[in-house]
Chain A
């Protein structure tokens, strides 16, 4: 069974879990922007701050590493590229390629910024139920008459719901093709076409069946939505995070 844990909600009773989804989105933006403005020490502080939030929310460091394994490889790639390409004092010279101190610092900084962003996103997704995210999207889009908030939120929800199903179908298609020795065909384009066409066909068929099933359950644009309500704790958290972010930018 396909499971995409990086994008899935984990039930819990932490402070982060209890914050209103709209406040969480706002906090996400505030910490994200602070990360862009912060010095290396400030960035390190924000990284520890967000990491503490994840641990407090009940995410184990080992799981976190598992989830972000591929992303960490990507960061390593960026770090290596930056380290060998930026200016500064040369540290080591391998043949005609030099490793620079400026590159090392710059690489570390970029990687840390990206890592803070990724952890923030993970913290948001793992502590917020999709129901609340959808309600928050609807609330944010309410002032814009041209944006159908309820439709956009339903589409977002459906997308999150069906990512694991599509991945499962992709694996089934891939296994079925391996069972018929597709690996003996060396042309990657041929393999890609033979993989994509049945997968897309099945996905579109599935989309048709979902539409019929939703119709059978009386789906329409007018429906009872999830009621979001802000509490005193949400405001306290908002002001605390604003103060922490300002102090990080000013003093660190």
Chain B
């Protein structure tokens, strides 16, 4: 069964600008999907429909068989979203409290919250910074904290909006390691990016978006050629005839 089923999804913003236009997409459990496209192509708008932060103007989005419009809270529990700007996602005064924010919103018992917080901090390597204030963290650590905050809600699908923006090389590798680890653990992963080079080695499927539509969809080797016409820089490997190489290797 598909965990995500999108049928004829269109979204028009309040100013009349068309954000998405007739999107059809089916995603199986455990897939690793990279979405690329120029600014304003509809990548973030599409992701925000997966957890009902935006609702369709027409069409349907079903998460694990249930429409997001019928049960938005369920959709948010299943689809965890890591935003581009970590500073806006971190809402508490210490690392531990911020990770607990999501489970507290789910009204879980205190013991269960503590257990989840501890696990999420261990997975993201932030246990040593549990009592630190978020403002003293580096960019990579903030991104990992944002991931920990989402992980504590135990979502099946993880959506990363431009996860490598403003990160240096070690920070990028840290976050990449987290994403690939979560995929290995069985999570379904969505990543939007302008820079395919960093992530493409791990993707099983590449979507190219253009003017609110899916322009290309398939395995990276088949889709990647000529992506520069869609405002995305073509990675090094296909031009040189090399195999895909991970930034982690």
A185 to B212, CA, bound (A): 45
Which residues of chain A are within 8 angstroms of B113 by Cβ–Cβ distance?
A: 224
Which residues of chain A are within 8 angstroms of B83 by Cβ–Cβ distance?
A: 209, 212-213, 216
A142-164 vs B, CB cutoff 8 Å, 1 = contact: the mask equals 00000000000000011011001
Residues of A within 8 A of B (CB): 1-3, 8-9, 11, 129-131, 157-158, 160-161, 164-165, 168, 206, 209-210, 212-220, 222-225, 227
Contact for A216 among B81, B92, B97, B106, CB less than 8 A: B81
Asked if B150 is at the interface of the complex by the 8 Å CB criterion, the answer is yes
Chain A: CB-nearest residue to B107: A224
Chain B: CB-nearest residue to A167: B135
Nearest chain A CB to B174's CB is how many angstroms away?
18
Nearest chain A CB to B142's CB is how many angstroms away?
11
Nearest chain A CB to B161's CB is how many angstroms away?
11
Which residues of chain A are within 8 angstroms of B110 by Cβ–Cβ distance?
A: 224, 227
25 contacting pairs across A/B (C-beta < 8 A): A2-B135, A3-B133, A9-B94, A11-B131, A130-B97, A131-B92, A131-B97, A158-B91, A206-B87, A206-B88, A210-B91, A212-B88, A213-B88, A217-B76, A217-B102, A217-B150, A218-B73, A218-B105, A218-B106, A218-B153, A220-B105, A223-B104, A224-B103, A224-B113, A225-B104
A171 to B136, CA, bound (A): 16
Q: Are A217 and B101 neighbours in the complex by a CB distance under 8 Å?
A: yes
Residues of B within 8 A of A (CB): 51, 53, 73, 76-77, 80-81, 83, 85, 87-94, 97, 101-110, 113, 131, 133-136, 149-150, 153
Nearest chain A CB to B165's CB is how many angstroms away?
14
Q: Are B77 and A218 neighbours in the complex by a CB distance under 8 Å?
A: yes
Q: Are A161 and B134 neighbours in the complex by a CB distance under 8 Å?
A: yes
Known A9-B133, A217-B150, A218-B77; 14 more pairs at CB < 8 Å: A129-B93, A129-B94, A129-B97, A130-B93, A157-B92, A157-B93, A209-B85, A213-B89, A214-B91, A215-B53, A223-B107, A224-B103, A224-B104, A224-B107
